[in-house]
Structure 1
């Protein structure tokens, strides 16, 4: 064998050995196993981002790994609640309770699903169970109060709202405003207008941008016969929620009561335009009828005044 050939073979062998050596000592590929906890964490993160369908997929994967994992069913229930699939939300909460009977969150969430389905007595039963497990959870008292309002038990609802206010931690003022606003509505239904006004004032003081509180206070002003106050608050509602056609109707009626006929007509015309654009045909036609009657009444008053 020639010297050149021997040299060539030695180079090839050396290269091959070097290659194999490098391969043998290169970093291995790590395969990480995804755990149940990982899937739960992924699902919660998707929930925070508003991607509820993907969150459900993650919770499904967690359940596939651990069939009796109560927290996975409870978390998946929250995603179904956001998607307004109340039947599935109830099923998930029930399954969670079967695996963990002391899971107060599952009772709380199932109560919410029942409430949104209009099953107020069923919701109250679940909130009772949540309160029995956690007597200091203001959410259960507040939600039970809302369910009692739906069940036309306003006096009991007020007691629940009071309990919620005594148990609520130092959180943001917006939640406090919601409780005062809802308690005010219960007072208004019970015709305690003065107490209702106090609550609506507190709600507005805590959240000056809550158009619902202004609307409710406007209705309370109407009960008092304070049409000026009603117009003021309806105007605030329109400022905060300008496409609310119904409020233009209410303000138009209040303006008519005050003798502001042109303003009343303008409000009803605006309301009819919004109703038509929103495809609310029945409301549109009723507003046109109201506008026609209003014009006739204004015309009659003008004719009498001329004589």
Structure 2
């Protein structure tokens, strides 16, 4: 049995942090003092930093409404920041609309292109995401985020060589001590995996693990690459780490169960597959549960006549 379920793998997009345009100290205002657009803008920035995205959207909306009949630069900043807030809560169509308005006000707004590209990616508009990141790179060629996000979009388009080139460029621009390096190596490893360049994929996943040993994704992905390479002990090692770091990862139990089976440890395989099946049932994952039960039945059938030494 040589199956490695990979539908648990997700790309990690770098969160694009918008610039804070208000830099003056914040003081408490007297109740009687009327708030100015810049005050709402400042409050919106603070609410984004605190994760209060709905309130931030209200703050930036106030700025926009107060500046509708003016050419105040605050309105462009408000659209740009409201785009980021929409992005954070998953309202991607609104994010695209606001980033477009922000670009209309300030055509060289790199953050708006980055954020709109990210929203387009999450809407599945991968080619449009590539175009937005192209523009961000023209405006700021030393920003690794644009190369990284363009690489993810190219990977989604199955433009594998372009994706690898983008990840390589992102690696040259990323600070060498940044934890984000692990994400880039992990995603480059995924492209190498898709191309069946397993040795390159294994190297990338190993680099990601060295840079961030607390991230179960890189262990999961390296475990899949080991399984594809028939290194069942390596797969077992990595899926052991995944379930330590993320005990609720049902797919990891399936894959570890398959590794145990390929190594001849059938009781351990059945135990892991049963654990995975229980997780799927609890989540309402009927199809995954049924597939796992089929695997259990297959292992049980193949156990006939076997003697197991542990």
* Interval of TM-score (by shorter of Structure 1 and Structure 2): 0.7 to 0.9
Q: Deviations over 1:282-305 (max 9, x none)?
A: 111221122112111112x439x9
2:230 aligned with 1:229: no
Q: Deviations over 1:192-224 (max 9, x none)?
A: 111111111111111011100001111111122
Q: Which structure dedicates a bigger proportion of its chain to helix?
A: 1
Aligned residue among 265, 279, 286 for 1:281: 286
2:303 aligned with 1:298: yes
User: How large is the RMSD of aligned CA atoms in angstroms?
Assistant: 1.6
State the 4+ residue runs in structure 1 displaced beyond 4 angstroms: none
What is the CA–CA distance in structure 2 between the aligned matches of 1:82 and 1:105, rounded to whole Å? 14
Change (3 A) 1:96 1:302: same
Aligned residue among 244, 247, 250 for 1:242: 247
Aligned residue among 142, 150, 153 for 2:148: 142
Change (3 A) 1:79 1:163: same
Where do residues 191-206 of structure 1 align in structure 2 (5 Å cutoff)? Answer: 191-206=196-211
Deviates more, 1:128-137 or 1:30-39: 30-39
Alignment partner, residue 6 of structure 1: none
Aligned residue for 1:302, secondary structure, equals coil
Alignment partner, residue 81 of structure 1: 87
Higher RCO (Cα < 8 Å, 6 or more apart): 2
Alignment partner, residue 214 of structure 2: 209
Alignment partner, residue 50 of structure 1: 51
Q: CA deviation at 1:31?
A: 3.6
Gaps of 5+ in 1: 1-28
Q: CA deviation at 1:32?
A: 2.5
Alignment partner, residue 159 of structure 2: 153
What is the CA–CA distance in structure 2 between the aligned matches of 1:165 and 1:218, rounded to whole Å? 24
Alignment partner, residue 262 of structure 1: 267
TM-score by length of 1: 0.86
What is the CA–CA distance in structure 2 between the aligned matches of 1:115 and 1:171, rounded to whole Å? 27
Alignment partner, residue 7 of structure 1: none
How many residues are treated as equivalent by the alignment?
Answer: 274
TM-score by length of 2: 0.85
Between structure 1 and structure 2, the one with the greater Rg is 1
Gaps of 5+ in 2: 1-29
2:116 aligned with 1:115: no
Aligned residue for 2:58, secondary structure, equals helix
What is the CA–CA distance in structure 2 between the aligned matches of 1:211 and 1:253, rounded to whole Å? 18
Aligned residue among 76, 83, 98 for 1:70: 76
